[in-house]
Each structure stands twice: as C-alpha cells, then as structure tokens.
Amino acid sequence: MTAIPLSRPSVDDEIKRAVEAVLDSRRYILGPECKAFEAELARYVGVEHAVLTSSGTAALWLALRALGVKAGDEILVPAHTAFPTVEAVCSVEATPVFVDVDAWYTADPTDMAAKITPRTVGVLPVHLYGQPCDLAGVGDLAVRYGLWLVEDCCQAHGAAWDGRRVGSFGRAAAFSFYPSKNLTVMGDGGVLVTSDDEIGARARRLRDHGRLNKDVHAEIGFNLRFNEIQAAVGRVLLRRLDRMNDRRRELAARYADRLAGLPLVLPSERPHARHVYHLYVVRTPRRAELATFLEARGIQTGIHYPVPGHRQPAVEHLAAESLPETERVVDEVLTLPISAGHTGAEIDEVARAVREFFGG
C-alpha cells in the first residue's frame, strides 16, 4: 500500500538548478534573487511593493508595526484560523477581538460590525483554506467605520475576488511560503505586500534591525530577513502558480464528483470568489471515525483547526465570548489530501475509501 500524503510539494531539476546557481553566486541574503522575487510578487498580486521576510507571521507583524498599532488597540480577527494570525496581533500588544465565521468558514462581517468599539483600529480577515473572505462586506465595514484592512493571505496565493487577486484590497497583506502552501520556497518564509509607500519603506527597515543604512538604526526592528536560495525556488514556482492552482481546482472538482451524495459537507466556492484549494476541507460529525478509517488505509488527513483562537490557553485571559458557528465547525472539519502534486488516481483512491466508510 502506497501512502497518500496530505500535501506533496514539487521538487524537480529546474528548482535544483536554481538553488545551485545561488550557491555558486556566493550571495545569500537579500541579494538579486530576493529583489527579483519581490518585484515579481508585487506585479503578480497587483501592488506596488513586496517585502520578503522570514515567515507569514513575521509579515503580519511587520504590517501591524508599520501601521503604528499600539497597546490597547483592538483588532477584529476570526477565531477560526491558524493561531499565528492571533499571535501577530498579540505580539504588537494589541487586543484580538474574536469574530465568528460565515458559511464559508471566513470572518462574518455582521459579527465584526457588532464587535466594533471606540478602541477598534482595524480588521484582519483571513482567506482561509484558499477561499477569499467576503471582501465586499469586510471592505464596506472598514470604510464605514474608518478602520484599516490587512488581509491574511497565507493560505490563498492566487485566489481572487471579482477577478482581482487577494492581497490587493487592504492597506497591506501577508502571505506565507510554508512547504504545504500553494506557493512555497521549501522552508519557512513570507512576504508583506502593499501599495502604501510608507508601509513598504517601514517594513523594509523593520525586517533588518530598523536600519536606514549599514550603521544607522532609525528604530528598533528585528532580524526578519529573507535568503537568496529560497527566493530562487520561489521565483521558479511563482511562474507555475496559476497552473498549479488550476490543477488544485481540477482535483477539487474531482472530489466533488466522487463524493457527491454522501452525508458529508463538501467545500464550495462562494459567489465572486476564485477558490484555490490550499486545503480540501469536508465536514462530518463522524470526523474521528473517518480519520481513523482513512489512516488505516495509508491516507493522511488533518484537522484545521481543532482549537479555535478564542479558546487557546495563551489568550484565555481575554475571556472571549462564545462563537457558536466556529465551535460547531471545529468539531467537524477534516482535511483530505490535495496539492498540485497529487494525481487523479490518488484523489479517486481517497474518494473510494470515504465512500466505503459511509457505505456508499
């Protein structure tokens, strides 16, 4: 039996040649590959600036610092997300105000509006699993209440809303390049994107110890730099991103066809959105049983995310209120294998096993 992993990043000769060329260049930190990757990323997203950094979390931190967020500020954030979204808010000493999710597992603008206070400064929605959030609703809310909007795009490289790529709607946005992401660099990494010149310039300083030049530090920053080897990998894969996303969408459609009619909630694409299926997430009250059944057949699954942000021990002092829809979702979601590197035969094998579990 051949195991089917949750994700399968691409590694091939073109990527290896790009890495070897950097090794031969003997330039390893924020050099020409990084500069070219930043320019290509900015052009791809449709913004003026891209600032490479050490992770998606770091990109969020840079955005919040560059916006001048301070202690006591409140930021609206979905509880159903990877905890680093919340961690970035806490790391700038702001207070995360947790909001519930809508039918597509992303931040509910109605719940956001209900939780705005005089201390609210911004909204930090997440394009989760590759699905854009309700950018019309969230954007209108931000404008109506005079709040900034920062997009967490760490799971949504190439996703779009009304034909416009996510990451270009707010004052800034953050992407992650973790190995399982739609666009990876074979390790940790991230990028802040923005069309705001001041945010771009400040983020560049902050990622490199707050430097104005080699010897002069204008403010306290940190070492959040990026490297040439990973930039070279990213440049190769960025050229393939749309094609890889098309492949993910083909495999998601294959799942939808093979799993139709089962007592299973399948992912759907919300109106106006282009979903890029970073994850293929289904829902069932029998999650634990299904996961065990699939594991016994060599099929890896995941749960994204079993403990919502508002129930994490690190923020229990906030005594966040209950979020009914989020709390239902986290007990039922299960991630099935998907990536541009999976074959149709593998998707069929997973679907057959799921059907067998349900007796279908």
- Sorted by where each starts, the structural domains of the chain and their CATH numbers stand as 13-235 (3.40.640.10), 241-358 (3.90.1150.10)
Whether the CB-CB separation of 199 and 63 falls below 8 Å is answered with: yes
Tell me what pLDDT residue 67 has.
98
Q: State yes or no: pLDDT of 121 exceeds 60.
A: yes
The region that residue 129 occupies, defined by phi over 0 for left and psi between -120 and 50 for alpha, beta otherwise, is: left
Share of the chain above pLDDT 90, in %: 99
Q: State yes or no: pLDDT of 108 exceeds 70.
A: yes
> What gap in Å lies between CA 350 and CA 356, rounded to an integer?
10
Tell me what pLDDT residue 132 has.
98
Q: Region 255-268: what's the mean pLDDT? A: 97
| pTM check: above 0.75 | yes
Backbone angles phi, psi at 191, to 5 degrees: -150, 140
pLDDT band at 10 (very low <50, low <70, confident <90, very high): confident
Q: Region 177-202: what's the mean pLDDT? A: 97
How many Cβ atoms sit within 10 Å of the Cβ of residue 43?
12
Whether the CB-CB separation of 97 and 76 falls below 8 Å is answered with: yes
Q: Average model confidence (pLDDT) for the chain?
A: 97
pLDDT band at 1 (very low <50, low <70, confident <90, very high): low
- Three-state secondary structure call for residue 243: helix
Whether the CB-CB separation of 263 and 284 falls below 8 Å is answered with: yes
HSE at residue 95, side-chain half, CA atoms within 13 A, is 16
> What gap in Å lies between CA 55 and CA 278, rounded to an integer?
17
- Three-state secondary structure call for residue 295: helix
Whether the CB-CB separation of 299 and 349 falls below 8 Å is answered with: yes
Q: Region 109-133: what's the mean pLDDT? A: 98
> Among all chains, which residue has been given the structure tokens 């890495």?
19
Which strands sit side by side in the sheet containing 148-152, from one edge to the other? Answer: 49-53, 190-194, 172-176, 148-152, 120-123, 74-78, 95-99
Q: State yes or no: pLDDT of 161 exceeds 60.
A: yes
Give residues with Cβ within 8 angstroms of 30, minimum separation 6: 52, 208, 225, 226, 227, 228
> What gap in Å lies between CA 205 and CA 310, rounded to an integer?
32
Structure tokens of 246? Answer: 């098309």
Backbone angles phi, psi at 248, to 5 degrees: -60, -40
Q: State yes or no: pLDDT of 294 exceeds 60.
A: yes
> What gap in Å lies between CA 34 and CA 319, rounded to an integer?
42
> What gap in Å lies between CA 151 and CA 63, rounded to an integer?
10
Tell me what pLDDT residue 315 has.
98
Structure tokens of 34? Answer: 């990084």
Structure tokens of 329? Answer: 């979702």
Q: How far is CA 95 from CA 66, 122, 153, 292, in A?
A: 17, 11, 21, 38
Tell me what pLDDT residue 80 has.
98
